[in-house]
Chain A
């Protein structure tokens, strides 16, 4: 009743845009009991989540100050507030109540910062919610909201993938150190969601160039899509790599000058940028125009082209997909040649995951194109040395060689 009558308020006041870390893993529809953990930007956060998970009742841990006013007390008791007395060191009451509710299959919302944080950075997380998740044996669903509520503002929220703490802590009575480590893990996750949300919002900004890029995509898919008839060989451990949300570097072997177009067809759902030798783009006027509209970034292979690398970094920071061929040129032989370390450097710098792909060479122009996806590679964020970049490059190369072997086996 309250939710239905509140819809106009939601449309006027929140105007929420919802993003997902991975839509295929966690959507708004949550099954069973779970603990929602969010940052706390505004007193309206609870109301926003109230409408975000429209078909579920949400019980929220609410500070004692909100219960001082009779009207708020009535509202919170009606919609599902769980009173938390922050000055009381005995936390058993609200922890047990929350555990009980989650075990009954309900959703409990917690703001571990326990007060409103108006700074850009996240505040200190208090770890009592970790006890709730461990005792209830329920997943934590991390959420980040930018708290931009108001008549002339628009809020954005991102829902992360669930974190199962029992996979990381098997102890029935975990030590304070273990609880703090889990608390740091969840805080880092919400920080990561904040960065992801900022990138996604930048990608949603209107730009005339994007219309031209979409026109180029339309031309490619309607003409070349029919020619290539790309067959995607999904990775069993992560079948949605060709539908990935967020930024990523797609790395592939380079057997033919058609490879970038094949990969653009494989990623037709997304606006992709492709790194290409400047001689290819500049060589022919019409080809150059089309490649520019498709979002190609030209690079001078014979010089230190920092401008192109800067463009690549900006594209990744704007949540786009970057297609790269680390061999640096067309190589029709096996992948025995060396890979250039630029991919690893960009991945480390922008924190973008790497998706290794293998584009199987076609024997005839009328054959179907086959694209094989390998395991996603994530760079270590802390180690940025050149040695680490070379190791990561070697990992990418080995991953593509494995895919090549797999493709050959399947072909026999």
Chain B
């Protein structure tokens, strides 16, 4: 049988500015049979997106194909004229981009955009296309398939937009669809829905797919074959089970090792002191005018309480929009709160950073999220660090320079980096500098806001190792805000689960997979993909088996103090959950949970 996609000895070169041409893709060959899914795996800069886009005949400006052939569904892509390429794209092969949020035009209704590629190729009249689109919406398990097309991108969630984009790609009944990290920007609970929808639609239509990703557990769910790319060359190719379970190549093994959920908890080390360094008590943060009750119009962080012991590590986990970053801003004094208090070593902190004593500011440090924007691009690394050193310790000249070298060594970087500009560093290096700057203050507690989110798996693993080392060597306490449950479990002792601005559960991180938990914690835990083929189907089946109780009459009464997870909860009890606010329940050595259920189901829990 002739393969649908056949790539032979593909070579792509590119140049930066007026420099010499450098190879970006080197001698890449692969083939995909009809109806199969191939995964391209690699870290950023490995050339995986470049290869995927070359299938559509698209090469970024400044680059060109310097050798090899690409054959897609009978078309010789490299030999096509511009016009032939246009007629092929969108009809024979289509593309689903990473960030659906920015791929849709916010000013046009969804339906107009979804039918557009098919209209361009004059496949069917508009009315028939709209009918086909609605069928696709249904197949992709989108809510209200009849009317969702009339809505605008801003009214829909990221997961829904990603599925709509897949619908757009499938409108023309293409033979090949290229997916470029379509679920990377999504929460795990959404990702599972999107993956399941993709998989069933593709199988139903016999579409051949290429799936670009760095997430190996996603590969296990969706692909049949996989290719590991590094620096533009194929390191290993084979079936998914071979690559995931018997990797031959050293680099594939390293990738797998980094993705493996491993514990960095040091065994047998004395438990962290019970005295807490930071206490958050009943914190309420929000935006807008305050109402008569003294609460803000839009509450983002809702009566949150937790504490971080000296030298301890607390993980805060939750999906996007749950108030994680607002909480971080409030703790660092950048967003005033409306109620509650924050204690550092037992002393109340002001909600405004300028009102805090210098000593208090020194002890509590923020490490911000985005490695690309966290360093001032016009200052050298040395200048950035020196400023922090001088600000906190008053050291100058020679002494300050020595301290900068010390800090760089502390985060395992060469002191020679001090003369570089941020643009000359990699993402991982920037994040280490980010840490070094916080360490310049000699802090007691460091607040890390999604610091590994934008990093490759291998690099992120190294950052987590660094955090654990700093905790051990300097006795630092951490608050680690993340949406990555694996990362959290590997380094944190305790975890706080945030949903819709409320802490629905606080407990030991090690016990997350077992015992009783809040329904949301369970959902979160079950949604993290495992590196087992078939996990997706199993989980989906289990979810479907958990029959959702009948829709509650008025589920949107969050302001009445009812459970915030009410509308999504599979275990809700009519007449209880929709009428009375959930109590806080706790178990000895176990989590503290904000839920009704334990009392009714398990007698061993006490309120």
Do A and B actually bind? no
